[in-house]
Chain A
Amino acid sequence: MVMVSTLATLSATVLLGISARYNSMSNAVAWRQAMNAAESGANVAIQNVHWLNSGASPAFAAAQGWSGPDASGTYTLTNLSVQAGGPGSVRMWSNATVEAPASLIDSRGAQWYRVRATGYAALPGLRRTGDDVTSDSGTRHKNRLRKLDYTSDHFVVTYGEFGVGPSARTVSTPQATRRVEVILQPQGPWNAGVVANSSYDFPYVDSFDSSDPAKSNPDGTYPSSTPSKQQAHGDVIINSNTPPSGTIKGNAGINAGGIATGWGANGDKALASNVSGEVSNNVSVVTPPVFAPAWGATATNAGSSPATITGVGAVSYFRSTRLSNTTVKLPAGRTTAEVNIYVDGDIVSGLTIEPGVTAKIYFTGDFSMKARDMDNQNDRAANLQFYGINPPAGQTQTVTFASGNPGYRYAAWYAPGADFTTNGNPDFVGSFVCKSFTANGNCTLHFDEALGGYGIVSRYSRASWVEDPR
C-alpha cells in the first residue's frame, strides 16, 4: 500500500506539473494566434478603405459585419470570424475600427486613415495564467508580456471600444487579446515628375516644393533664379523596360523585372549617368484607368466651346462636348472655388483658369494647343488638374503642345492612356502620368512636390504599424 501510494503521489505530481506546463504552452500559442486574428481584422479593414476609395466593391457593408459611420465618422467591424473552433483548432475572431479624424490630415491637406484591430483567440486550457515564468525564481513576470482575459476584455476596460465601455465587459470564454494600430497614407497620382507607361524622352526634370518657402520662391513658384532652393526629387518611372533619356534630377526606374544586367541592374548607374539619384530596373507604379465621372450625366451643360464657365458656390460641376478658348471663372463673391468639368470631346486652342479657381477637368478626346495658351493664372499646378479618360481599346489619346514663347506652364496631368508630345521650349511645372512622354524642343519639367496632397487617391499604403502593448 505504501508503495502504491508513493507511486500514485509521484504520478499525480508529474501529471499536475505537466498539465501546468501544457496550459502555459497552449496559452502562449493562443497569444500568438491572437496576433494573426488582429492582423486579419486589420487587413479586412484596409481592404474596405480601398473599396471606399475605388468603389470596386461595397465598402463597410453591413452584411460583412460593418456598422457606421457613427457621429465621429468611425466604421466598426465586430466579430469577424477568422477561424472556427473545433478539434485541433482554436477559435479566432477580430474586431476593427476605421477612423479618419481631423488630427490625421497632413500638412498638405491629405486625409490619412487609422485602423485599429483587436484579435482574439479562445484559450483552450484551464482558467489559469499558466507558468509564464523563467527558470530564474527571482525574475517572475507572469503575463507581463502575454495578457490573457479570463473575466473581461482588458482593452475595453481601458479604452472602451466597439460600443462598449470603458467598463468591464465579461468575456464568454477565456481569450488571448492583442491589438494593432495601422496608419494608412493616401497615395495620390502625382508622386513623381513623370510616370510613363511605355516610354520617356524629355530633356530635363527636377523638383521644388510650392508649399515650402525654403524650396520655392516666396510666392510658391519655381525658384529659377535660386538654385539652392531647387530640389532633386523629380523622379521618373517608366512602366516598361525602356530606359529614359534626358537629364533627371531625381531617381529613375524602369520595369525590367530586376534582371541582373543592363540599365539600372542592382542600382548600377553605369548606363544611367543622366540620373542624379538612384536607379532601379525593378520599379513599377500602378496607374489605374480613368473613367467618366459619375456626376457627368447630371452636371450643368455648358454646351460646346463655351467662352466662359463660371463656378457656382464652393464646388460646381459642368459638362461640355468641347473646350476651345475657354476661361474658367470664380463665382461672384467668392475668392476660391472648385470647378469640375467633364469634357466629352477635345480641348483645343486655349484654356484660362482665373485666380482662386481649382479646375478639375476630365476629358475623353485629345488636347492640343500652344503651351502659352494654357494659362493657369494661379501659378500653382494643383489649381489645374487634368484627368484623361482612357480611350477605348485600339484607340489613342494625344496631348500635344505646340511651340510659341510659352514660359512657365502650371498643371498636373493624370492621363495614363495618353501620348504626350511637346514642341518648343515650355517650362512645365507640375507632374505627368501618361502613356508616353516626348519632347522635341529645349523644354523642362519642374515637379512640384506639394502635389502629393492632391488628386484622386489611387490607393493607400501602410505608413505605420504598432502593437498596443497593454
Chain B
Amino acid sequence: MKRSALAASAGSTLLETMIAASIAGAILGAIVLGGFSLQRTYLVANDYFRASADEMLVSDSMARDLRSALGVTVSTPDPQVPLVQTLTLTVPDYIDPSTGNPRTPTLNPGTPKYGSAVGKVDYGSVASPLTVTYSVSGQRLIRQSGNTQSVLSSSVQNFQLTGVDQGTSAEMGVTFASKFARQKNVDTRTGTTVRSTLSMRNPQRY
C-alpha cells in the first residue's frame, strides 16, 4: 500500500514538540549556566591575578629596599593590634636630587675588627639619612620615602616583620585579605600570607 502525500507533510505531534522544546531548553540552560560559570571563573581568576600582582609588588618593593638597607626598625603603633607593624628602613640616599645623578659617596675606613677593615660608605647626609617606611592604614599598605607616598596594596590584613637574623637576612610576612568570597559576609578563606626571606647586602648600622 502506498502512503499518501498528506501523511508525509504532516506537523509534529505534541509529544514531539514537547520533547524538542525540553532538549532545546536544556541546551540553552546549559549555555546560560556555562556563561555564568565562565564569568565567575573570569572574576575569580582576575581577582587571583590582581592579588598575586599586589603580593609581588609588595614583595618586590620591600625586597629592593631591604637589600640595600643600612638599618631596620620595627615598631607596633597600636599594642592592641600586634600583628600590624610599621617597618622603617634607613637606606642609602643614592640619587642627588639637585643633579639627578648618583652621588659620590664619602668613605670612612673605620676601625678594623677581627683582622678585617670595616669601612663605611655614606651617600648624602650622615646625620640625616634617607628613611623608607612601610605602614598599614586601614587595609592599605603604604610606602613612604621622603615626602613621596604610594599605596602598594589596599587589601592588607596584617603586616609583620617576622625575623631579622643578625642584620644579614630578613623575613617579612604580609597577610592579604581574602578576595575570593563572592557573597557578602562569607569568607571562604581567612587570607593569604606571603612570606619572603632575603639576604641584606649591607652591614646594619642604624
Task: Please list the residues of chain A having a beta carbon within 8 angstroms of any beta carbon in chain B.
Answer: 3, 6-7, 10-11, 13-14, 17-18, 21-22, 24-25, 28, 31-32, 101, 103-108, 110, 112, 131-136, 138-139, 141, 144-146, 158-159, 181, 183, 185-188, 191-192, 195, 233, 235, 237, 251, 253, 280, 283, 285, 449, 452-453, 461-470
One of A7, A32, A191, A251 near B60 (C-beta < 8 A): A32
Task: Please list the residues of chain B having a beta carbon within 8 angstroms of any beta carbon in chain A.
Answer: 28, 31, 34-35, 38-39, 41-42, 45-46, 49-54, 56-57, 60-61, 64, 67-68, 91-92, 94-95, 100-102, 104-105, 107-109, 111-117, 119-121, 123, 140, 150-155, 179, 201-202
Find out whether the CB atom of A251 lies under 8 angstroms from the CB atom of B35: no
Which 9 pairs of residues, A with B, have the shortest CB-CB distance? A136-B154, A21-B49, A464-B121, A191-B112, A465-B201, A285-B115, A139-B151, A192-B115, A185-B119
Closest to B41 in A: A14
Give Cα A465 to B121, complex, Å: 9
Given contacts A7-B34, A106-B107, A251-B113, contact A132 B53 (CB under 8 A): yes
Tell me the smallest distance from the CB of A435 to a CB of chain B, in Å.
Answer: 15
Q: Which residues of B contact A251 (CB under 8 A)?
A: 113-114
Q: Beyond A134-B50, A233-B113, A467-B68, list 6 extra A-B contacts (CB 8 Å).
A: A28-B53, A139-B150, A139-B151, A145-B57, A192-B115, A237-B114
Given contacts A28-B56, A112-B107, A468-B94, contact A144 B150 (CB under 8 A): yes
- Chain B binding surface SS class: mixed
Find out whether the CB atom of B67 lies under 8 angstroms from the CB atom of A465: yes
Tell me the smallest distance from the CB of A331 to a CB of chain B, in Å.
Answer: 31
Q: Which residues of A contact B64 (CB under 8 A)?
A: 145, 467, 469
Give Cα A195 to B120, complex, Å: 23
Given contacts A3-B31, A11-B38, A14-B41, contact A463 B121 (CB under 8 A): yes
Tell me the smallest distance from the CB of B145 to a CB of chain A, in Å.
Answer: 9
Find out whether the CB atom of B61 lies under 8 angstroms from the CB atom of A134: no
14 examples of A-B residue contacts, CB within 8 angstroms: A25-B56, A104-B105, A131-B50, A131-B53, A134-B54, A134-B151, A134-B154, A139-B140, A183-B121, A463-B107, A463-B119, A463-B120, A466-B202, A469-B64
Q: Which residues of B contact A14 (CB under 8 A)?
A: 38, 41-42, 45
Give Cα A24 to B46, complex, Å: 12
Give Cα A103 to B107, complex, Å: 9
One of B38, B100, B116, B152 near A461 (C-beta < 8 A): B116
Give Cα A329 to B131, complex, Å: 55
**Count of inter-chain pairs, beta carbons less than 8 A:** 177
Give Cα A159 to B100, complex, Å: 9
Find out whether the CB atom of A10 lies under 8 angstroms from the CB atom of B92: no
Find out whether the CB atom of A453 lies under 8 angstroms from the CB atom of B113: no
Give Cα A462 to B68, complex, Å: 12
Tell me the smallest distance from the CB of A256 to a CB of chain B, in Å.
Answer: 14
Find out whether the CB atom of B68 lies under 8 angstroms from the CB atom of A466: yes
Tell me the smallest distance from the CB of A84 to a CB of chain B, in Å.
Answer: 25
Closest to A131 in B: B53
Give Cα A10 to B91, complex, Å: 47
Q: Which residues of A contact B68 (CB under 8 A)?
A: 465-467
Closest to A145 in B: B61
Tell me the smallest distance from the CB of A73 to a CB of chain B, in Å.
Answer: 15
Give Cα A3 to B34, complex, Å: 11
Tell me the smallest distance from the CB of A467 to a CB of chain B, in Å.
Answer: 6
Find out whether the CB atom of B53 lies under 8 angstroms from the CB atom of A136: no
Tell me the smallest distance from the CB of B132 to a CB of chain A, in Å.
Answer: 10
Q: Which residues of B contact A3 (CB under 8 A)?
A: 28, 31
Find out whether the CB atom of B60 lies under 8 angstroms from the CB atom of A31: yes
Find out whether the CB atom of A185 lies under 8 angstroms from the CB atom of B53: no
Find out whether the CB atom of B114 lies under 8 angstroms from the CB atom of A469: no
Given contacts A145-B61, A452-B117, A469-B95, contact A135 B112 (CB under 8 A): no
Find out whether the CB atom of A17 lies under 8 angstroms from the CB atom of B60: no
Given contacts A7-B31, A139-B151, contact A106 B114 (CB under 8 A): no
Q: Which residues of A contact B101 (CB under 8 A)?
A: 159
Tell me the smallest distance from the CB of A49 to a CB of chain B, in Å.
Answer: 15
Tell me the smallest distance from the CB of A348 to a CB of chain B, in Å.
Answer: 30
Q: Which residues of B contact A469 (CB under 8 A)?
A: 64, 94-95
Given contacts A135-B50, A135-B54, contact A280 B114 (CB under 8 A): yes
Given contacts A103-B104, A464-B121, contact A17 B112 (CB under 8 A): no
One of A22, A131, A191 near B116 (C-beta < 8 A): A191
Q: Which residues of A contact B111 (CB under 8 A)?
A: 233, 449
Q: Which residues of A contact B154 (CB under 8 A)?
A: 134-136, 139
Find out whether the CB atom of A466 lies under 8 angstroms from the CB atom of B94: yes
